[in-house]
Amino acid sequence: MTLNITCIPGDGIGPEIVAQAKKVLDKVCEKNGHTIKYTDVLMGGASIDKYCVPLTDETIETAKAADAVLMGSIGGNTSTSPWYKLPPEKRPEAGLLKIRKALGLFANLRPAYLYEELADACPLKKEISAAGFDMLIMRELTGGLYFGERKTVEENGELKAIDTLTYSESEIRRIAIKGFDIARKRRKKVTSVDKANVLDSSRLWRKVVNEVAADYPDVEVEHMLVDNCAMQLVKDPAQFDVILTENMFGDILSDEASMVTGSIGMLSSASLNDTKFGLYEPSHGSAPDIAGQDIANPIATILSAAMMLRYTFDLDKEADEIEAAVKQVLKDGYRTGDIYSEGTTKVGCTKMGDLICERI
């Protein structure tokens, strides 16, 4: 197979961590007889510096022509970077919002996995963390409260703000189908999270999810109210496989799930459209204070590349090999500075990429 990948190195540590992800991809594809065509483009601050805009039309077209996009981190230090003296629509993050819209990315996937070797960093009680957890939060990315009509008006001498939460059947159905398809690649369980005891949009959400579930008899489905889900994430996270939810609930729950892992530097993410196309990136930021020092943790980006192999190219075996190599490196006691603990061996960004390649 030939993989056509557009790479957006981004800002800060982005070029360093993307370089390591590409190195790991090259290794696993060489081993399994695949070839890769990379096309590097600019976005964010790097694009502002060269083109005076955070995202060019040419970059969008290059991304659309690819099978997938692998991206590093976007942005810089908001207090010192000249990029943040620009109008909001000209700042680095505006490029990210624009490319999501241009590529039709409506499904955001954020895994939260507790590595046994990093269990001490988990803030939960040991009797809870000992069970481990491996969940994936699937968040609808383009609808709901964040994209509904909003306004602020004056009534009876005081200001009144109005935000509208809107979902259509088709918007719910497409994210539900993605959720069940991905559950089939995992442990075949979907927890659909809503607020159906209060909200009409959630009652429609639950109705459509049940309709989609009928086409997946091999996948277990349960419904959970969002407030209960927030409690269960810290009480018994091991119960979850795929958490399927709407935009605002997913925004909040995915941040909660990331924190119970104890290490954001390990967390990958993906944003998918209604084809196999996806944009894959680490969940963490650009960390400009450590850029160029070869000390960044590349594992989140490497695991994002594994997600790309799994969800865009259906190369589950190759994705498994990358994930197993990451686990083995951690088991062998190697750590970048952000996850270092006494008794382990501290390594830099490049060395961590080399170690993972050696174990593929």
Q: Domains plus CATH for the chain?
A: 1-105+267-360 (3.40.718.10), 123-261 (3.40.718.10)
- Mean pLDDT over 1-27 rounds to 97
> Above 90 in pLDDT, residue 101?
no
Residue tagged active-site, from 26, 146, 185, 320: 146
Q: How far apart are CA 118 and CA 102, in angstroms?
A: 38
Q: How far apart are CA 255 and CA 193, in angstroms?
A: 15
Whether residue 35 contacts residue 5, with contact meaning beta carbons closer than 8 Å, is answered with no
Span between the terminal Cα atoms of the chain, in Å: 19
Q: Is 156 exposed, middle or buried (0-12, 13-18, 19+ CB in 10 A)?
A: exposed
Residue tagged active-site, from 49, 163, 200, 227: 227
Q: What global pTM score does this model have?
A: 0.86
In terms of Cα–Cα distance, which of 76, 79, 68, 74 is closest to 36?
68
- Mean pLDDT over 224-247 rounds to 97
Q: What does the pLDDT read at residue 99?
A: 92
| DSSP one-letter code for 119 | G
Q: What does the pLDDT read at residue 283?
A: 87
CA distances from residue 174 to 117, 143, 146, 205, 243 in whole angstroms, order as listed: 37, 12, 18, 11, 15
Which is more confident, 10 or 97?
10
Q: How far apart are CA 197 and CA 190, in angstroms?
A: 19
- To the nearest whole percent, how much of the chain has pLDDT over 70? 100
**Known catalytic residue: 251?**
yes
> Above 90 in pLDDT, residue 93?
no
Check residue 272 and give left, alpha or beta (phi > 0: left; psi -120 to 50: alpha): beta
Q: What does the pLDDT read at residue 285?
A: 87
**Residue-wise pLDDT tens digits, 129-159:** 888 999 999 999 989 998 889 899 999 999 9
> Above 80 in pLDDT, residue 174?
yes
Which is more confident, 130 or 325?
325
Q: What does the pLDDT read at residue 116?
A: 85
Residue tagged active-site, from 22, 27, 195, 311: 195
Lowest mean pLDDT among 23-32, 89-98, 272-281: 89-98
**Known catalytic residue: 120?**
no
Residue tagged active-site, from 251, 320, 338, 354: 251
**Known catalytic residue: 195?**
yes
**Known catalytic residue: 49?**
no
Lowest mean pLDDT among 15-19, 46-50, 76-80, 218-222: 76-80
In terms of Cα–Cα distance, which of 134, 144, 142, 139 is closest to 164?
144
Residue tagged active-site, from 236, 255, 289, 332: 255
Q: What is the mean pLDDT of the chain?
A: 94
Whether residue 152 contacts residue 257, with contact meaning beta carbons closer than 8 Å, is answered with no
H, E, C per residue of 254-292: HHHHHHHHCCHHHCEEEEECCCCCEEEEECCCCCHHHCC
Q: Which two tokens stand for residue 314?
A: 């259906």
- Mean pLDDT over 88-112 rounds to 91
